Chain A
């Protein structure tokens, strides 16, 4: 339908900078998730795209059209709020029909369109009810219907599933994705639930304190976090992060906690040779490590003492204390070491992540920028 572009957009509220110099492109017909902790500026970006807020700086484009100074109703967007914001004094029918009535659409056309979208979302039997008489999931679909009935070019969703129970959420998640693809509408989806973002989105934008941290497909966000923030925000539990010193004798080698060493051979090696940092920040995902009794050659291994074991049914989360660092490892249910036991944590080959200690950027990205820059 249309591509949405933010160019150097900044939004300040008094002294608070909610969104800081953001450059972003939301692809035509793509489903983009805006992911970040509370107060990071997700809703603000959404409201900027909607036209509810005017940027303090920068421009916003829908395709070639500069919409920066247009009012929300001139932008052809649909917006679903976190709390649905259904009009409590109107029936479901009137709620959905409201945007069309304001456009002075002929009544017969309104009727047809409302019925169509209501059928599409399976709420056509609820049209006479008031919002207070609906369940959370039904309200959510009414809000969606109200946004879709306008046939918007851009669909904006502000944590629309956060009020639902886990089961309903997963159900509606896939439904939402299906609807979005069927309509081919450009969708921006705000959430602080990472599993939602990773499961639904074509592209995930991670934001923190108003600054974009990473913009990439879900796989990349998960496997190759651009910086320490993304690594420690994504995953449940999130990645283990700790500082380590380096030495460079024959190869760049990391001194891991517990006294072991790991020498880097993969694509990190070249960037380490060039930068020769004396320290790095090391990270790995709990699901990319296992507890072993004997260290295996080649794999990075950390020695430590079992601190706690949390059985979760399908798996256990084992916390291992090594020096003053606590590492989490996900183990199969049968691997359940005793607290106090001395164990080795072995990280899968190639799954160790290294970050620059100053900028906290993943060294892999620095390497790529170098190779691109020549």
Chain B
């Protein structure tokens, strides 16, 4: 057993070093900063100036009384839930469709869905900036105006009459478009690994397409579904780049387009540059993320899926 322990250590060591260097150390640093009044990166005189739980207390009061912060929390919840749904279920649906159709069309189709992911962030942001632009020259507006669906241009993401739903719809839509290809690629390659005989066997047993999907395809990739769900959940909780562009260019309302992750970023680097406070919010975010990740694994009964190895080596 000692030998196996040493073997395990040997294989894990490089990864452990990376994790410590790029995750654990920054995390400790962040936690540290969250107990300081650090603002405007005045590292020299503020980094060893402890204020105890002040940042956390501020955060608490903000969460309790600040209407904008309430919007951020709501937006985070809505954004993560719905985008996650699109990313996982949409990715699954796309993968099933591409799996069932002719290989050549399928390839083109998958590449098409990969475009949003391959497009540079700025270009992608610009695209949506034009698309949802509130003036008559915005793509969506001019299109709908021509069709006669609307009489005057609509400020899609910012018109108070349609908030918060329009802003939420836009951020979920745009991020879903980027994220859905991830699940699609993972699920598609998982489908490709299912032996063809299993599908044929199911057909011979009398399964229609829908039943093949339900009884064979989906259960056979359940591991991948868990993986994509957890992965996407965590990345949705922590990612903010697309939202940053959308908010910065006023495609969507500032508060109904800002999630907690973006809020942390803005607080630390952009708006008020209050790093101590941002660090406290970041620590809370990491805690929430860890808990949600574990809960998801629990709900999806991850441990039951790890079958004991067949050999002993």
Contacts and interface: CB of A to CB of B under 8 A. Distances in A.
Interface in A128-151: 132, 146, 150
A88 B204 CA distance: 17
Interface in A49-99: 50-52, 71-73, 77-79, 81-83, 85, 87-89, 98-99
B301 interface: no
Contacts of B202: 87, 98
A102 interface: yes
Nearest to A52: B200
A361 to B, nearest CB: 37
B220 interface: yes
Interface in B205-256: 205-207, 211, 215-216, 219-220, 222
A314 interface: no
A102 B198 contact: no
B307 interface: yes
B310 interface: yes
B201 interface: yes
Nearest to A130: B307
B205 A85 contact: no
B221 to A, nearest CB: 10
Contacts of B197: 81-83, 85
B298 interface: no
A171 interface: no
Contacts of B307: 132
Given A88-B220, A102-B211, A52 B206 contact: no
Contact of B207 (A47, A81, A83, A102): A102
A274 interface: no
A99 B206 contact: yes
B148 interface: no
Given A89-B219, A102-B211, A79 B201 contact: yes
Contact of A73 (B203, B215, B219, B310): B203
Contacts of A99: 205-206
A197 to B, nearest CB: 22
A103 interface: yes
Contacts of A83: 195, 197
B206 A103 contact: yes
Q: How large is the interface on B (under 10, 10 to 19, 20 to 34, 35 or more residues)?
A: 10 to 19
Contacts of B206: 72-73, 99, 102-103
Nearest to B305: A89
B205 A102 contact: yes
B105 to A, nearest CB: 18
A71 B209 CA distance: 12
Contacts of B203: 52, 71-73
Nearest to A98: B205
Contacts of A73: 203-207
A52 B204 CA distance: 8
Contacts of A88: 220
Nearest to A103: B206
A132 B204 contact: no
Contacts of B219: 89
Contacts of A47: 200
Given A83-B195, A87-B198, A102-B211, A146 B205 contact: yes
A89 B307 CA distance: 11
Contact of A85 (B201, B215, B222, B310): B201
Interface string A4-40: 0000000000000000000000000000000000000
22 contacts: A51-B204, A52-B203, A52-B204, A71-B203, A72-B203, A77-B204, A78-B204, A79-B200, A79-B204, A81-B197, A81-B200, A82-B197, A85-B195, A85-B197, A87-B198, A87-B202, A89-B219, A89-B222, A99-B206, A102-B211, A132-B307, A150-B205
Interface of B: 195, 197-198, 200-207, 211, 215-216, 219-220, 222, 307, 310
Interface of A: 47, 50-52, 71-73, 77-79, 81-83, 85, 87-89, 98-99, 102-103, 132, 146, 150
Of all A-B residue pairs in the complex, the 6 with the closest CB atoms, nearest first, are A73-B206, A85-B197, A99-B205, A102-B206, A85-B201, A72-B204
Given A87-B198, A87-B202, A132-B310, 17 more contacts: A52-B200, A72-B203, A73-B204, A73-B205, A73-B207, A78-B204, A79-B204, A81-B201, A83-B195, A87-B201, A88-B220, A89-B220, A98-B215, A102-B205, A102-B206, A146-B205, A150-B205
